[in-house]
Amino acid sequence: MEVVSCAICGDEEVEALYPARDKMLGHPTNGYRVVKCCSCGLVYLNPRPPGEKKGIYYQGGYFFEAGSNPNDISLYRPIIERLTAGGRTGSLLDIGTGNSFFLPEMRRRGWRVAGTEVNQGLVDHFRAAHGIELFQGELEQARFPAGSFDAVTLIGVVEHVPSPVALMQEVSRVLRDDGVFCLWCFNRSLEARLLGRYWLGFDPPRHLFSFSEQDLLILLRRAGFEVTDVVHAPVFLTAHTLYWLLLKLRGRLRGDRRPPDVRGLPRPFQLAGRPFAKLLASAGRSSSMYVFARKRGEGAPR
């Protein structure tokens, strides 16, 4: 096990919140726990799996099979609209491409696209299905030249990386001055505080961090970015949690201890949660957020 200090302030004093449980795939997580930094309030996994063992927690159904595409393009819609406004094109890097249609769609709109992906099966699939060559590995390993891209996107990735500060610094390095950085992740806001360990926006041990909006703004500014906008999406994860608990109870009654799969939320739950989702988004308290930033050029005011 790897014991770490806070990624934002470096403090080592923490408040233990609860033992980590793998709610999605059911892998054993003995000894891992979720903690809160006593100095800045960042919530993270500590201790956490060392790098050489983290991969086992992605086995057994986490990666979508190559050739399927369950990722709805609607997740990427706010970013696509922002980047292509006014017919804009340029060079784009997507970090952790996964199995989405995002890069093919951006290429169709005139962008020159590149991506990184740690899963070799998805790299092979993208090459065969879309003619897009992804770098297999982490961003830092790709060693792209400085100032290579007009835009960088990071969608559902920042929670997984052991050093978000180093990642954002590398994003800044490969972006051109005034380049655009678009980030999406779950937001540790009202629902997270109310639901505690049952909030499905935090998925330990794969998620190493659970960021609030303020956490991300601090990290981005330290990496040399100017935050230009934050957009809260209408998502109500409480509905997913209730469905997860219902499936878990049904499974126990049937003697089935496998973790419930709640990626496909039934329509009644969607409809019931829609008004609450819109309310949370309008109040800036949604569990889902997009953060848009630009890289400050040399000599720009801090």
Interval 157-173: pLDDT, tens: 999 999 999 999 999 99
**148 vs 75, higher pLDDT:** 148
Q: Mean pLDDT of all residues in the chain? A: 91
Mean pLDDT of 36-57: 91
What number of other Cβ atoms are within 10 A of residue 5's Cβ? 14
Closest CA to 214 of 230, 237, 233: 230
Domain ranges for the chain = 73-190+213-236+272-295
Percentage of the chain with pLDDT > 70?
94
Backbone angles phi, psi at 268, to 5 degrees: -60, -40
What per-residue string of b and e applies to 246-280 under the rule 16 or more CB within 10 Å gives b?
A: ebbeeeeeeeeeebbebeebeeebeeebeebbeeb
Given this model, what pLDDT does residue 63 score? 58
What is the DSSP code (8-state) at residue 23?
Answer: T
pLDDT band, very low/low/confident/very high, at 61 (cuts 50, 70, 90): low
Q: What's the CA dihedral at 153, 157, 159, 165 to 10 degrees?
A: -50
Residue 259 pLDDT > 60, yes or no? yes
What number of other Cβ atoms are within 10 A of residue 28's Cβ? 11
Q: Which one is the CATH code of 73-190+213-236+272-295: 3.40.50.150, 3.40.50.970, 3.50.50.60, 3.40.50.450? A: 3.40.50.150
Residue 70 pLDDT > 50, yes or no? no
Mean pLDDT of 201-218: 96
pLDDT band, very low/low/confident/very high, at 269 (cuts 50, 70, 90): very high
pLDDT band, very low/low/confident/very high, at 75 (cuts 50, 70, 90): confident
Mean pLDDT of 176-193: 97
**270 vs 299, higher pLDDT:** 270
Residue 183 pLDDT > 70, yes or no? yes
Given this model, what pLDDT does residue 125 score? 87
Backbone angles phi, psi at 223, to 5 degrees: -85, 5
pLDDT band, very low/low/confident/very high, at 60 (cuts 50, 70, 90): confident
Give the β-pairing of 175-186 and 288-295: antiparallel
What number of other Cβ atoms are within 10 A of residue 131's Cβ? 9
Q: CA 24 to CA 26: how far, in whole Å? A: 6
Residue 56 pLDDT > 70, yes or no? yes
